[in-house]
Structure 1
Amino acid sequence: MSTSPSALATELAFRAKFLRIACLANIVLFVLLVGGGTALITTVARATGASTAAGDEKDIRAVLDAQVIAWNKGDLDGFMAGYWNDDQLTFISGGDITTGWKKTKERYEKRYKADGKEMGKLVFSDLHVETFSPNAAMMRGKFELTFEKEKDDAKKTARGRFTLILRKTPDGWKIVHDHTSAEEKK
């Protein structure tokens, strides 16, 4: 049985087209499997009680609620309990980077407790939580700090925004990175 050159060319073209479609289908299946596997792992972790997105958000908001209560009582140690007590904690504000829990606490002490300075009244608002996994999340929000002793109205209130990265530790959710920026005075 002999095959004509045109029939052979048609068959080769068909096979080449079939191989291209098969390769594309394999790539699509691979992407779906990887994406689906990642979603499945997260779903299983949440379904087995490892965590829930709503539960994590509630726990993260509780960290900041406890910080506000402690701050407004003048309890810097209570406020600092929301931070990861580790040398790798980072705090960025005013163009400066402070590394470590102890140095971050010292920064707060110098700025708000030393030489008769007041801590003021703290309020957080406009809070948005985004969980990345059962053990990592980000929170964005606004802060307002009002000082009673200030006579100058321009200094009486400090406002700004912050972004926090939180990690779930054996001690609960802790802030591992804090980037805070104050509004410029007008």
Structure 2
Amino acid sequence: MKKIIFLVCFTSTLYSFAQTSKQDDKEAIMAVLKAQRIAWSKNNIEEFMEAYWKSDSLKFYASNGVTTGWENILIRYEKAYPTEDHTGKLSYKINDITKISDDAYYVLGEYHIKRKVGNADGIFMLIFKRIDGEWKIVVDTSC
């Protein structure tokens, strides 16, 4: 009987730890997205880009093709959003955060940008990976 009670307690503890860890991961990812939203809304593209993996392997997929590499994606953003009138105020609606593996999640959502040059709305899927203890976007698909 003691073995059964121990087994139930041990299993419950593991399950609770897994759930807490998953919730902690999601909260950390949401914090990254919040920091990104604030940076964007301050017209600070470089700070916005801190959420992305600084690697030549970073990928950004959009309707006009694929851009690879952190520097190239920064240049793309700076060209597309040259002034505060273009960046405007960003908001997100997160529809799903799903664990892929111990150190990776995908995030599905919608973005809304209120701006003077015309509002912009779309959808996105991000893949976050924990790299050196930090959650970074390694793939961004936005339309």
Give the TM-score, by structure 1 length: 0.64
Task: Give, in angstroms, the shift of residue 83 of structure 1.
Answer: 0.4
**Residue from 71, 79, 96 that aligns with 1:110:** 79
Give the number of the structure whose alpha-carbon radius of gyration is greater. Answer: 1
Q: Is the 8 A contact 1:111 1:117 kept in 2?
A: no
Higher relative contact order (CA 8 A, sep 6+): 2
Distance in 1 between residues matched to 2:95 and 2:31, nearest whole Å:
12
Q: CA RMSD in A?
A: 2.2
Task: Give, in angstroms, the shift of residue 171 of structure 1.
Answer: 4.8
171 and 113 in structure 1: CA distance in 2 versus 1, 3 angstrom threshold: farther
2:98 maps to what in 1? 130
Q: Identify unmatched segments of 5+ residues in structure 1.
A: 1-39, 151-155, 182-186
Task: Give, in angstroms, the shift of residue 147 of structure 1.
Answer: 1.3
Identity of aligned residues (%): 33
Task: Give, in angstroms, the shift of residue 117 of structure 1.
Answer: 5.7
Q: Any residues of structure 2 matched to 1:24-173 within 5 Å, and which?
A: 47=17, 52-113=21-82, 118-148=86-116, 150=117, 156-173=118-135
Number of aligned residue pairs: 130
- Could you list the structure 1 runs, at least 4 aligned residues long, displaced by more than 6 angstroms after superposition: none
Distance in 1 between residues matched to 2:113 and 2:49, nearest whole Å:
17
Q: Any residues of structure 2 matched to 1:2-21 within 5 Å, and which?
A: none
Distance in 1 between residues matched to 2:100 and 2:61, nearest whole Å:
22
Task: Give, in angstroms, the shift of residue 99 of structure 1.
Answer: 0.3
Q: Is the 8 A contact 2:61 2:67 kept in 1?
A: yes
More strand by share: 2
Q: Identify unmatched segments of 5+ residues in structure 2.
A: 1-10
Distance in 2 between residues matched to 1:179 and 1:69, nearest whole Å:
20
Task: Say which SS state the counterpart of residue 76 (structure 2) adopts.
Answer: helix
Q: Is the 8 A contact 2:85 2:115 kept in 1?
A: no
Distance in 1 between residues matched to 2:32 and 2:136, nearest whole Å:
8
Task: Say which SS state the counterpart of residue 52 (structure 2) adopts.
Answer: coil
Q: Is the 8 A contact 2:94 2:107 kept in 1?
A: no
Distance in 1 between residues matched to 2:107 and 2:58, nearest whole Å:
16
